[in-house]
Amino acid sequence: MRLTINLSTRTYINARQLNLVLLVFILLLTGFLFVNVLGISSKAGEISRIRGEMDSLDRKSGTDRRPVPEQDYKRVMTQIRFANEIINKKAYSWLSLIDRLEALTPDGIAFASIEPDPKKQSLKLTGSTLSFSRLRQLLENMEQSPGFSDIYLVSQNQTSVGEKQKGISFNITCQVKP
């Protein structure tokens, strides 16, 4: 006689234990839901309280929180741009630039004009000297200075003043570092 056991005929899921686990899980989820709903309702109450305080402060101060019309906004922005341009022009000390340039200029060089361009932060120098070695010394001094960059000798010409006085006239352009 051969005995066979058929395992599929018996239920192996403990329904009581499964129902207990599901009940605990549902109770936990309900607890989390309750805590979240309380948090959301307290935050909503806080938001409405703050809005009420803002409105009462606005009424006390007499300010109006309406949006600014486009025309007024453009007008104010134009005034701000104008003020910023003035500030930018005043921000760079051109007198200190002239002091630096004076310290770099060797003897025997005379500047006829110094033309700063605040927008491009550039400088155009026109002048004269007796010899090219002095002009070369000026260019070398400017190249070694941290305040100047992109230094170009645009032109140089032999000039004569009277019968005996000869010299060189020159034009230099450079970028000025603040």
98 domain residue, yes or no = yes
172 domain residue, yes or no = yes
Highest mean pLDDT among 44-53, 61-70, 101-110, 158-167 belongs to: 44-53
Look at the chain and report how many structural domains it folds into: 1
119 domain residue, yes or no = yes
Domain that holds residue 146: 93-176
Q: Are 123 and 174 in contact (CB under 8 A)?
A: yes
Q: Using the CB atoms, write b or e for 113-152: b if 16+ within 10 Å.
A: eeeeeeeeeebebebbbeeeebbebbbebbeebebbeebe
Label residue 1 by pLDDT band (50, 70, 90). Answer: low
Tokens at residue 81, please? Answer: 């741009």
80 domain residue, yes or no = no
Mean pLDDT value across residues 19-48: 95
Mean pLDDT value across residues 155-159: 87
33 domain residue, yes or no = no
Q: Is the pLDDT of residue 78 over 90?
A: yes
What is the model's pTM? 0.50
**CATH code, 161:** 3.30.1360.100
The per-residue pLDDT for 10 is: 60
100 domain residue, yes or no = yes
